[in-house]
Amino acid sequence: METDQPIRINVRRKTMWDDFTKERARRFKPEQMLKVVFVGEPAIDDGGPRREFLSDMLELAERMLFLNGWPVKSVIALSSLQFRIAGKLMVISILQGGPAPNFLDSEVYAYISRTTLDPDKNTNIVSKNIAKNLANAKTDEEVQSILTQDDTLDVLDSIGYRRIPQRETTTSVINVIRSICIQDQFSAFLPQLMQLEEGLSVCNVLQSIQKFPSVWKVLFQPSQEFQMNSEKFLDEAAVEYITSQVLQEKEITTYKFFSDMVLLLDDGIDGIYLRDFIKWMTGSKTIPPLGFPKKFSVQFVHGCTEACRCRPTVST
């Protein structure tokens, strides 16, 4: 990553996606560190605004371009290269301290990572049974017998198979099984996935995904790996108490009530959950794959007047 000269992007919250798309088309390079400025907001990007931007952009990408972890069917999105933009955003978020884009379906990730596809996910009963039988075959002879059946030959023709069935083995037939699954599960999504892969290829991330699929899996599929719970948050928080004994007692009492409130946020308070609190503090609802750059520290403000209604502030 080129971090010496970050590239500044100015975005508005209501038009964040469009603003980023225009910046990307004009002068943006994925390998450059982002310096995000929310126009009209007095914030210095020490990582928090960038994390918030990447978090919001990934949520937009998931909402606009994916449904239950699968790409949506949208000619408009395809023609404007939205899936390629989404792929680049995923890479940028991972490499620049943003949250993991862990919302892809397991089969979608298996397709991207070139790992084994699940024949049980096939919707066509014929192709499902053929793929399962080939996957369960124990010998080369069994593979060849399945491949020369009439139903199988029809399926092989539909996937463009041009090899000799009698020469296939339990090893070589893996590619045939994958092709059958791709035709059944992904034929309507191939243009979207090709764009997504193009975006993921920046900084050689796609190449690394396909080389180390088990390592990257947790970053793209739903999991609890990056979730923050209240106990973890409180254990990691560094509380800075004042030296004055009198004031310190007040701080301890205040922090006690604060800790009790944090514990309740796991189950939610009036629709607000711990992830919302973490987002307010850090810009991200989840722990980034690179982790947060510094520990959570808690400080107290003294000297407020009796009628003061000041609110807590955060520095990211």
Model confidence at 43: pLDDT above 80: no
Query: What CA–CA distance (Å, rounded) separates 286 from 70?
Result: 22
CA distances from 200 to 75, 83, 205 (A): 20, 10, 6
225, part of any domain: no
Co-location of 79 and 198 in the same domain: yes
Sign of the alpha-carbon torsion through 151, 152, 158, 161: negative
Q: Are residues 83 and 201 in the same domain?
A: yes
Asked if residue 245 is part of any domain, the answer here is yes
Residues 72 and 198 in one domain: yes
206-215 core/surface letters (b: 16 or more CB in 10 A; e: else): beebeeebee
H or E element, residue 181: helix 173-186
In-domain check, residue 311: no
CA distance 227 to 63: 20
Question: How far is residue 58's CA from residue 41's CA, in Å, rounded to a whole number?
Answer: 21
Residue 168 included in any domain? yes
16 and 165 share a domain?
Answer: no
Residues 183 and 199 in one domain: no
Report whether pLDDT(197) > 80. yes
Pair (83, 149) in one structural domain: no
Mean pLDDT computed over every residue of the chain: 91
pLDDT at 49: 85
Say whether both 93 and 106 belong to one domain.
yes
Indicate if 72 and 138 belong to the same structural domain.
Answer: no
pLDDT at residue 45, as a whole number: 52
Tell me, what's the pLDDT at 312?
Answer: 79
Total domains, the chain: 3
Per residue in 75-98, pLDDT (tens digit) is 999 999 999 999 999 999 999 999
CATH number reported for the structural domain that contains residue 61 in this entry: 3.90.1750.10
Region 142-150: what's the mean pLDDT?
95
- Span 261-276, mean pLDDT? 94
Domain of 177, in residue numbers: 120-187
pTM of the predicted model, to two decimals?
0.87
User: Looking at the structure, do residues 146 and 291 belong to the same domain, yes or no?
Assistant: no
User: Are 146 and 93 part of one and the same domain?
Assistant: no
Percent residues over pLDDT 90 in the chain:
75
| SS3 at position 2 | strand
